Every structure is written in structure tokens, then in C-alpha cells.
Structure 1
Amino acid sequence: MTRDRFSVDAINAFITRLVNARTPIDTDTAGARQLKAAIQAIKDKTVNSTVTSKRHLEHTHV
């Protein structure tokens, strides 16, 4: 990237943004897997769940 005349600071900022974007995704994925495992561990039960996204809540309050 530095050969393409991007500054080191610009490259570092880009990588930081990628990592910062990926971290919540990894956290959500881990939480979803944990929830799935917990639900599968419940034998012969009925489970109801509701999922509300943060994005949805932000748009409904605008």
C-alpha cells in the first residue's frame, strides 16, 4: 500500500477501522453461538425468544 503512495498513517487508520468494525461482529457471533448452545441444551422445552437490533431501535426513535 505504501508503494501506491498511501501514507503509513492512512494505512494504520484503515486497518484500525477494519479491526474496530470486525470486533462487534465477532462478539455478536460468539453470543449467538452461546445462545444456540444454551437453547440446544434445553431438552423437551418450549423456548420463545425476541431479538431486537440496535439499528432498528435507532431508526424507530428518529
Structure 2
Amino acid sequence: MTVSSSPRGEKAGRPGVTWEQQLARTEQHIADNAPDPAPPNRATRRALARKTRRNR
């Protein structure tokens, strides 16, 4: 009997099926002089909630 928390091995693939892997590199440039966005305060959150309730 095996324990249900025991790790399972990987299943073997089907014969004739091959995997092609391609690595993609992405870059994101962030301006050094951009201010850090502050999280909205309680009043702002409540105003946004009111606005979304009205627009429904």
C-alpha cells in the first residue's frame, strides 16, 4: 500500500511525440526618475467603490 502523499514520478510520453522548447527573453525598462506609486488611501478606495457601483 502506498501513502497518498508520496511523490509520483513523471509519466512517460507517447511514442513518436517530441517536445520543442524555445526560450524567450523579454526586457522591461523602468525609468529611474519615475515616482513610486503609493497605494490608494481609504478615501480614494471608497470613492472608487462608489463610482463603480454607480456605473453598473
TM-score by length of 2: 0.28
Tell me which of the two structures has the higher relative contact order, counting C-alpha pairs closer than 8 angstroms and 6 or more residues apart: 1
Give the greater-gyration-radius structure (CA).
Answer: 2
TM-score by length of 1: 0.26
More helix by share: 1
